[in-house]
């Protein structure tokens, strides 16, 4: 196997495509695409997102100390992409232009995307400037899902949600592939392996 060093780049693949929902000072809803994002902690449940300080969203997060994380499905990928190419600084009606509806989150002062299957309601817990981006930690206060995307035990089902997966290097969107095995289980064959005598 020939290994080639590509240098220090943000090249881990894939990332999610999340939409951060915020209100500006006048109460206008804004939504921005974020791919530098993930789950950061279990107890308390937290997300991490990297947001440039130039984004209107960043200003809004500091103003209200909260935000929603909205998970788009593949059908609404073009609308989600749009949220990543126009700023709320220039366009106050991003939701209207995308043909999507802002709902008011139940636990925080932030909008969510009604048409998306799942959203998280987060309070700003911490932030740290890394360089190009500010790393924002949001504590998840509630998770709200459309009933149709829950499994028989009431948990979010990835196939039903049909989330958008982002490949940063290729700058392309993908859907979810096949289930290839059960986590914490398929590795057991190695754990249980006996040392050769
Ligand atoms: C696929 C995709 C991923 C993006 N990821 C991020 C990100 O993680 N952090 C960021 O600051 N901007 C990211 N952007 C750019 C912002 O979404 C974009 O600048 C947006 O217009 C900002 O909106 P706002 O100024 O209304 O907040 C991304 C854009 C796209 C299309």
Q: What is residue 61's three-state secondary structure?
A: helix
15-191, superfamily in CATH? Electron Transport, Fmn-binding Protein; Chain A (2.30.110.10)
Ligand 1 neighbour 35 (Cβ under 6 A): yes
| CA-proximal residue: ligand 1, atom 29 (nearest) | 84
- 135 CA to centre of ligand 1 in angstroms: 14
How many helices (H) and strands (E) would you count in the chain? 5, 12
pLDDT, residue 1, reads 84
Neighbours of 46 (CB within 10 A): 18
pLDDT above 90 (res 192): no
The answer to whether 88 and 24 are in contact (CB under 8 A) is yes
Per-residue pLDDT tens digits for 4-38: 999 999 999 999 999 999 999 999 999 999 999 99
- Give the model's confidence band at 197: pLDDT under 50 very low, under 70 low, under 90 confident, else very high: low
Relative to the CA of 91, which ligand 1 atom is closest? 26
Per-residue pLDDT tens digits for 71-121: 999 999 999 999 999 999 999 999 999 999 999 999 999 999 999 999 999
Helix (H) or strand (E) holding 58: helix 56-64
Which residues neighbour 34 within 8 Å (Cβ) at sequence distance 6 or greater? 17, 18, 19, 20, 49, 50, 51
Cα 78–83–86 angle (5° rounding)? 115
| CA-proximal residue: ligand 1, atom 9 (nearest) | 51
pLDDT above 80 (res 195): no
Closest CA to 60 of 139, 125, 124, 140: 124
pTM of the model: 0.97
- 85 CA to centre of ligand 1 in angstroms: 7
- 86 CA to centre of ligand 1 in angstroms: 9
Q: Residue 153 and residue 157: Cα distance in Å, rounded?
A: 10
Token readout for 26 is 């006048």
Cα 36–18–110 angle (5° rounding)? 115
Token readout for 114 is 């009604």
pLDDT, residue 160, reads 98
Per-residue pLDDT tens digits for 132-154: 999 999 999 999 999 999 999 99
Token readout for 15 is 């990332």
pLDDT, residue 194, reads 82
Token readout for 117 is 């299957």
pLDDT, residue 67, reads 98
| CA-proximal residue: ligand 1, atom 16 (nearest) | 84
Relative to the CA of 31, which ligand 1 atom is closest? 26
pLDDT above 90 (res 193): no
């Amino acid at each position: 196997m020939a290994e080639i060093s590509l240098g220090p780049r943000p090249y881990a693949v894939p990332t999610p495509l999340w939409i951060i929902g915020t209100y500006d000072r006048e109460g206008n809803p804004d939504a921005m695409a974020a791919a530098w994002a993930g789950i950061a902690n279990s107890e308390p449940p937290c997300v991490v997102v990297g947001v440039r300080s130039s984004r209107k969203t960043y200003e809004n997060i500091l103003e209200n100390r909260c935000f929603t994380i909205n998970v788009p499905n593949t059908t609404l990928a073009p609308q989600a992409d749009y949220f990543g190419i126009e700023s709320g600084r220039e366009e106050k009606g991003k939701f209207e232009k995308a043909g999507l509806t802002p709902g008011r989150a139940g636990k925080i002062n932030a909008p969510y995307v009604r048409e998306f299957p799942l959203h998280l309601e987060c309070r700003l817990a911490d932030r740290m400037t890394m360089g190009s981006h500010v790393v924002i930690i949001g504590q998840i206060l509630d998770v709200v899902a459309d009933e149709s995307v829950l499994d028989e035990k009431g948990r979010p089902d990835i196939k039903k949600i049909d989330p958008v997966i982002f490949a940063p290097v290729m700058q392309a969107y993908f859907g979810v592939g096949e289930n290839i095995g059960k986590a914490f289980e398929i590795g057991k064959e190695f754990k249980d392996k006996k040392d050769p005598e």
